[in-house]
């Protein structure tokens, strides 16, 4: 009678075959898992790309981006006025505001004796590829849920008094720079900006610089009407936040980007949004936009906040050619120079 040990023993060949089958099954399951993960990742990326372009979808070649503009002007990444830069860098005579600082030198000397010398934060200045998004105040950004996407850019530029608090889901809460002029300033910039946000004054006229000087020196501000509302008489921010945009950008946004005929006696100023776009094209490798666009009906709301309508916009910006600016943005988009984060 055969022993029990002999009946229950298994040959080495069978053990090896069984182990091989187990490993093959494991490898098959692992392969299925990897393929499924890749498939769903592709689906997710397609879903994401259908709603907004990838931040890094545009090649980080800022010179190629700038060259594609084909403008007869050199790229300028020095955005703000500095004490040593009171005249055009190319040696040509300076123009008065809003295209130059001729006649404003004394006030600027007072201002720069208080303002910090620092220009751009070091981590942005040294970056080889700066991704930027310019956030307009248009109603079109409402209910887009772009907040998290906007916060991922290196530089987030906001315009005038566009609020953040309470609108984070659509507009995000990161603000690297905020472009404003006295009439669009708010008394407390801490409400809708971060502590290190650069508050960039866009000077249209001499009294804009006088307003800033009086704020910095805590002088008594004479109530001014402004062209659509009085500027704030108090400022609760820090002087280290202030920067003054070089009028170079106002000049070349109007003359080169918009092709406005030059008339020093009656200068045409672009909107703050178009100006911010031109600044971003100078400074950034990737330029995306959100919140740009105007409604067709004059009774439609124009901002994602407040109750102003297109009729008010036309009155407030009677000197701006917003139709022409929209055409220029469309041309830049068609040439791949800028991208919008949402349908428009």
Instruction: Report the C-alpha gap between 144 and 10 in whole angstroms.
Output: 66
In 3D, which of 232, 152, 242 has the Cα closest to residue 193? 242
Check: CB of residue 81 under 8 Å from CB of residue 74: no
Instruction: Write out the CATH class of domain 53-340.
Output: alpha beta
Share of the chain above pLDDT 90, in %: 51
Per-residue pLDDT of 233-286, as tens digits, reads: 888 989 999 999 999 999 999 999 999 888 877 888 899 999 999 999 999 999
What mean pLDDT is reported for the chain? 82
- C-alpha distance from residue 56 to each of 41, 59, 149, 207 (Å): 17, 7, 12, 41
pTM for the predicted model, two decimal places: 0.80
Q: Which helix (H) or strand (E) holds 25?
A: helix 12-51
Cβ contact 140:289 at 8 Å: no
Q: In the chain, what are the domain boundaries?
A: 4-44, 53-340
- pLDDT per position as a tens digit, 322-334: 889 999 999 999 9
């Amino acid at each position: 009678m055969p022993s029990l040990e002999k009946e229950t023993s298994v040959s080495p060949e069978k053990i090896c075959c069984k182990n091989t089958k187990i490993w093959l099954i494991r490898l098959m399951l692992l392969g299925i898992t990897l393929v499924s993960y890749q498939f769903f990742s592709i689906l997710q990326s397609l879903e994401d790309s259908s709603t907004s372009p990838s931040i890094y979808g545009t090649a980080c070649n800022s010179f190629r981006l700038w060259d594609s503009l084909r403008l007869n002007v050199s790229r300028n990444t020095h955005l703000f006025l500095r004490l040593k830069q009171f005249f055009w860098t190319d040696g040509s005579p300076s123009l008065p505001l809003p295209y130059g600082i001729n006649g404003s030198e004394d006030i600027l000397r007072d201002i720069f004796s208080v303002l910090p010398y620092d220009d751009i934060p070091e981590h942005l200045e040294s970056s080889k590829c700066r991704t930027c998004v310019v956030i307009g105040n248009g109603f079109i950004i409402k209910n887009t849920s772009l907040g998290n996407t906007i916060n991922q850019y290196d530089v987030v530029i906001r315009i005038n008094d566009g609020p953040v608090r309470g609108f984070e889901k659509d507009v995000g809460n990161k603000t690297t720079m905020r472009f404003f002029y006295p009439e669009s300033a708010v008394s407390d910039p801490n409400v809708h900006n971060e502590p290190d946000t650069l508050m960039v004054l866009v000077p249209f006229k001499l009294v804009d610089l006088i307003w800033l000087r009086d704020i910095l020196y805590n002088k008594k501000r004479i109530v001014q009407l402004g062209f659509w509302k009085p500027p704030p008489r108090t400022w609760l921010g820090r002087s280290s936040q202030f920067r003054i945009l070089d009028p170079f950008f106002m000049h070349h946004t109007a003359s080169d980007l918009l092709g406005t005929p030059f008339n020093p006696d009656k200068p045409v100023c672009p909107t703050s949004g178009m100006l911010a776009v031109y600044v971003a094209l100078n400074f950034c490798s990737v330029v995306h936009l959100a919140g740009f666009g105007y409604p067709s009906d004059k009774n439609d709301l124009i901002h994602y906040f407040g109750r102003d309508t297109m009729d008010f916009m036309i009155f407030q910006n009677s000197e701006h050619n917003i139709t022409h600016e929209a055409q220029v943005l469309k041309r830049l988009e068609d040439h791949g120079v800028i991208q919008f984060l949402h349908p428009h």
